[in-house]
Amino acid sequence: MLFPSCIFALLALTVPVKSSRSSSPFPGPGNASYEYVVVGGGTAGLALATRLASAEKSVAVVEAGGWATEMGNMTTVPGYAFSNPVLAPIEEFPPIPLLDWELLSQPQTGANDRRVHYAAGKTLGGSSAINTMAYHRATKQTHRRWADIAGHAGYTWEEMLPFFVKSSTLAAPDWDKRDTPNATFEFDSTVFCTGLPSCGPLQVSYSNWVDPTNTWFAVALGAIGLHPSSLGFNSGSLSGGAYTTETIDPNSATRSSSQTSYLSWALENTQLKVYNRTLASRIVFKNTKAKGVVVILSGGVFHSPQLLMLSGIGPKILLESLDITVISDLPGVGQNLQDPIFFSVQSGVTTPSLAIELADPNRLEPNVESYVNNQAGPYSYAGGYIAFEKLPTESRVNFSNRTSSLLDSLPDDVPEIEYLAGSFPGTGNGVTTVGDLSAAVLNPFSRGSVTISSADAADPPVIDMGWLTDPADAEVAVAAFRRLRQAWAAGSLDEWQVGPEVTPGAEVETDEQILDYVRANVIQIWHASATNSMGTDPDTGAVVDWRAKVFGVDGLRVVDASVLPFALPGHPQATIYAFAEKIAASILEGN
Ligand SMILES: Cc1cc2nc3c(=O)[nH]c(=O)nc-3n(C[C@H](O)[C@H](O)[C@H](O)COP(=O)(O)OP(=O)(O)OC[C@H]3O[C@@H](n4cnc5c(N)ncnc54)[C@H](O)[C@@H]3O)c2cc1C
Ligand SMILES: *[C@@H]1O[C@H](CO)[C@@H](O)[C@H](O)[C@H]1NC(C)=O
Ligand SMILES: *[C@@H]1O[C@H](CO)[C@@H](O)[C@H](O)[C@H]1NC(C)=O
Ligand SMILES: *[C@@H]1O[C@H](CO)[C@@H](O)[C@H](O)[C@H]1NC(C)=O
Ligand SMILES: *[C@@H]1O[C@H](CO)[C@@H](O)[C@H](O)[C@H]1NC(C)=O
Ligand SMILES: *[C@@H]1O[C@H](CO)[C@@H](O)[C@H](O)[C@H]1NC(C)=O
Ligand SMILES: *[C@@H]1O[C@H](CO)[C@@H](O)[C@H](O)[C@H]1NC(C)=O
């Protein structure tokens, strides 16, 4: 363990790469000292550190990983996002230590005791460097709910919108490059900053290509009632379907992560100091204060609760059992994990598709050329059409009263299901492309957890997503599965569908069989949250207050996906960036 600079006044640090003192990653003139230390240079951490540094605060970022560019173009080319082996949600997964924490879950008792690999970015940029780039915001009433739980109006849609705007810049679709006249749409530019040098660093745009398969899925989803949204999904409403905005820099058609956006800017324009490949293994307190300095923990949904527990903040009984001195007895740390689940119905299709474009060796050269020379074509694309709904009345007839009343407790504008469309290489037998329609159950009632098995930061956090342990989620999953089949059967895909349903196959028919299929195949959509929930009362599980300050200690905030009080509907990164902006602003205002 190294204690090489003044950061050691408040953090214990280890450097995973073998390193003597002289080649330690803390060069520079003597013992540095900082006003703020951000632990975790991920999505939230780099946004927040950048804003503090740009206000001339002295700020250091401590990041366990290095630079994603060491992986060549794997993380930068949008077309590689879905085939990146880092995603593999299976027990025997390929290790990619330069990008991933390599977490393996506990057996999922609600999902046939499977253990799955849960990718989490271990690199500057964090999970924004490996995610699949969908960018959209939550609903107005989601924000109302958050504000109610936090006990602070700052989380309402109206008060958060300026931070969404501040974090990003939107580029309008490049219709010429997209070159798909049947996939045009309206969008709401009033909820973005566009075209000004002063717009936020995160680049948000629409892919310069469209998978033709998705144009047909859009029609099929329309046929079951999910009509195109006239505004898109950034204006506080999630209903119907839309081609989603993505975190892609339109000029280069490359991924915009918190590293390529915020950090690049900060390294050129501020004094921000980055310690890469440096693992924070403990926050050191003097009594209950991280002395002299403010620590902002942005380690993400699994590692922030881990680091809190290692530092003596968490459930007292657990900490004592591991001989960790209790600094703040917070029973909620690591509890309340909410992880939306995800499953599909697949059939062979004959549409032109992304799958063929990427698999056909004859298409490689022209597609790379189109990407490199024109920032267009399949490699510029990372996904497309998504849709949201509350299940229609006919889908709810078999729900238990309990499930119905749990769902009724959610706000009116909060969708229950997200649908995602895509295509994969074929399975042989004349099937060249597999069309994929997936559903995500957005508001899990099941609860998982993060805990620790030792006082050593080198041991991974113990993660249990709790999939399908609440019967309500199982009922909703079955209903969503039937909606997927309805979309396939709605008629618009008839012309393109070949052969019988590939997955799971027509023999899976009854509710029981469907649930068996779901339990055996469900995976995560990588949107876990709420393991250090924001709230007002630590005795009922809250870990941070509305300012993101940890209860029971001074000088410590947590700012990342772990403090969301519940799973947001859909994809969370837009909100995590806005949240980081909000807390940075609040710190600079002295709150
Ligand atoms: C595969 C995948 C696909 C996804 N797809 C989408 C999508 O399409 N759209 C969307 O909106 N969201 C998506 N998400 C979710 C979204 O990317 C995450 O919710 C979000 O990036 C989390 O941000 P964060 O700041 O909480 O954590 P992260 O971005 O994960 O950052 C945490 C950082 O802390 C570092 N760290 C942790 N512990 C320590 C320590 N002890 N010392 C030093 N550093 C430490 C990590 O290395 C990491 O850099 C996806 C996520 C994944 C993993
Ligand atoms: C990253 O850390 C290494 C030491 O592990 C150091 O040599 C390098 O300069 C750092 N890179 C940057 C860009 O900070
Ligand atoms: C840094 O601090 C340590 C402990 O306070 C001290 O021993 C060391 O001399 C300092 N190094 C420099 C370069 O100031
Ligand atoms: C949309 O246009 C593309 C070609 O640009 C075509 O392949 C696809 O079949 C069309 N889809 C629909 C729904 O008409
Ligand atoms: C990514 O990099 C590899 C190796 O340099 C190269 O062969 C490939 O063409 C690149 N891909 C794209 C889409 O540019
Ligand atoms: C409700 O259950 C019945 C009996 O299992 C089944 O036939 C029907 O398809 C179910 N309906 C829905 C919408 O799930
Ligand atoms: C559900 O609630 C209704 C009244 O709201 C009641 O009539 C019915 O018996 C309940 N069903 C079950 C299965 O409990």
Q: What is the CATH number of domain 82-120+171-256+338-524?
A: 3.30.560.10
Interval between CA 557 and ligand 2 midpoint (Å): 26
Ligand 5 atom having least distance to the Cα of 77 = 13
Is residue 17 in contact with ligand 2, taking CB distance under 6 Å? Answer: yes
CA-nearest of 415, 419, 399, 400 to 224 is 419
pLDDT (average), residues 280-309: 90
Rounded mean pLDDT of the chain?
A: 93
Encode pLDDT of 55-98 as tens digits: 999 999 999 999 999 999 999 999 999 999 999 999 999 999 99
Ligand 6 atom having least distance to the Cα of 398 = 1
pLDDT (average), residues 274-281: 94
Q: What percent of the chain has pLDDT above 70?
A: 95
Considering every ligand atom shown, identify the ligand nearest to the alpha carbon of residue 280 and give its number: 1
Interval between CA 241 and ligand 2 midpoint (Å): 44
Q: Ligand 1, atom 9: nearest CA belongs to which residue?
A: 134
Confidence of residue 241 (pLDDT cuts 50, 70, 90): very high
pTM: 0.95
Encode pLDDT of 497-525 as tens digits: 999 999 999 999 999 999 999 999 999 99
Q: For the chain, where do the domains classified as CATH 3.50.50.60 start and end?
A: 8-69+259-337+531-588
The CATH number of 8-69+259-337+531-588, from 3.40.190.10, 3.40.50.300, 3.50.50.60, 3.30.200.20, is: 3.50.50.60
Taking the C-alpha atoms of residue 456 and residue 266, their distance in angstroms, rounded to an integer, is 33
pLDDT (average), residues 251-271: 98
Q: Are 134 and 553 in contact (CB under 8 A)?
A: no
List of residues 6+ apart from 227 with CB closer than 8 A = 240, 241
| Whole-number pLDDT of residue 8 | 52
Q: What percent of the chain has pLDDT above 90?
A: 88
| Whole-number pLDDT of residue 376 | 98
Is residue 511 in contact with ligand 6, taking CB distance under 6 Å? Answer: yes
Which two three-digit tokens encode residue 109? Answer: 């008792």
List of residues 6+ apart from 555 with CB closer than 8 A = 10, 289, 290, 291, 293, 294, 295
**Radius of gyration over alpha carbons of the chain, in Å?**
23
Is residue 33 in contact with ligand 2, taking CB distance under 6 Å? Answer: no
pLDDT (average), residues 571-575: 98
| Whole-number pLDDT of residue 9 | 54
Site to probe by mutation for ligand 6, drawn from 391, 393, 397 as the one with most ligand atoms within 8 Å of Cβ, is 397
Q: Are 148 and 131 in contact (CB under 8 A)?
A: no
Taking 90 as the threshold, does the pLDDT of residue 7 lie above it?
A: no
pLDDT (average), residues 112-130: 98
Which two three-digit tokens encode residue 351? Answer: 């549409």
Taking 50 as the threshold, does the pLDDT of residue 25 lie above it?
A: no
Q: For the chain, where do the domains classified as CATH 3.30.560.10 start and end?
A: 82-120+171-256+338-524
